[in-house]
Amino acid sequence: MTATARLTISLSSLSDNYRRLNRHATGDVAAVVKANAYGLGLKPVATSLWQCGCREFFVATLAEGIALRAVLGEAIIYVLSGAVAGTVATFVTHGVIPVLNTPSQVVAWQGQSAAAAVHVDTGMARLGLAWQDAEKVLQSIDFPLALLISHFARADEVHHGFSALQKQRFFSLCRTLQGRGLPGRGGQLRISLCNSAAILDGLCQSDSETENLGRGGIAMYGGNPFHNQPNPMDAVVKLEGQIVQVRTVESGQAVGYGGTYVATDSTRVATVGLGYADGVPRLLSNRGRVFVNGKFSPIIGRISMDLLQIDVSNCAAQEGDWVEVFGRTICIDECASHAETLSYEILTGIGRRPERSYINESLS
């Protein structure tokens, strides 16, 4: 170990989380591996998921799809941004499937023998065909339809009425399309609506509202998919820093840039060798905490690019000890909450500098 910051990723916990999603799903579960598998490394994450049975994957961009194709030659890969102008031939060459979002993208794909998916916006007002117009657009397609998808805006808020409205719009459209004979690839219209929270909450488990393919995202990576429920998933990621110095600061002495923390008593202060360049949010300054030698210790002063400081007056911390910023003891969602953000941003914001280890056991 030559760095003072390290990141441990449990591939076994990742796989266990994927299997947990499968147990709740009404059909198969695809893995969302966009943004370098939520910052954890596309190749090791995708390979591990493939080995535990995942065969369909979602990425955000064509470049990500091409990168994933180089890792998994036989996977079914969907690109959420769709086939923008001039990219149709590249999609076909690499065998990745665009999720078409606009009427112009649908037109650009017309005449292709390769399948495409289509995204219907049922109320999120982000990507997709407007649900009111989707039937007209879809009736004109002459290419194989791999998948019809939509996306919940508030599935993390269990029992929120907007999810019911989105469901009603989406499945009403599906029934209309099937009634008018719009087939999917293989003669069946395959549909995908549920993200992690929706899968776990069973939002598509009624007889008339069953989907073929759920999409596992943050829950696979150990984040809590719910806004107002306990986290049912196993921790996958642990970020740690090594103590590089311990000193005693006397009452009245300021700590760190700007003097934002002033000791009110004699205080043992440990300086830890990681900072915001390693993925520790600067907003944790004077409000977050770490775990060291069986004790929680508050972060004091401003977090800098390479260092943060903690009050270790209550524990026997010393130079060389390792400090957990988030992991099994301090969940990533607690870290995100203190930083006024989401676990998604914490994961994708992890820097390149921490030394990475992939393990096939639970985090210690």
One-letter amino acid at 51 equals Q
One-letter amino acid at 290 equals V
- Which residues, at least 6 apart from 136, have a Cβ–Cβ distance to it below 8 Å? none
Q: What is residue 58's three-state secondary structure?
A: strand
One-letter amino acid at 210 equals T
231 contacts 333 by C-beta, under 8 angstroms: yes
In whole angstroms, how far apart are CA 149 and each of 166, 179, 196, 270, 310?
12, 18, 15, 50, 47
Burial class (CB in 10 A: 0-12, 13-18, 19+), 47: middle
**Burial call 236-246: b when 16+ CB within 10 Å, e when fewer:** bbbbbbbbeeb
208 contacts 138 by C-beta, under 8 angstroms: no
Among the listed residues 43, 221, 257, 276, the single catalytic one is 257
Q: What is residue 69's three-state secondary structure?
A: helix
Length of the chain: 364
Among the listed residues 18, 34, 78, 261, the single catalytic one is 34
Does the annotation count 167 as an active-site position?
no
Tokens 């929706």, located at residue: 198
121, β-bridge pairs: 130
Give 336-353 as a DSSP string: HHHTTS-HHHHHHT--S-
- Which residues, at least 6 apart from 206, have a Cβ–Cβ distance to it below 8 Å? none
246, β-bridge pairs: 270
* CA pair distance 348, 279, nearest whole angstrom: 9
Does the annotation count 136 as an active-site position?
no
Tokens 């921490």, located at residue: 354
Helix and strand counts by DSSP (H, E) for the chain:
11, 21
* CA pair distance 7, 357, nearest whole angstrom: 6
* CA pair distance 241, 247, nearest whole angstrom: 17
Catalytic residues: 34, 257
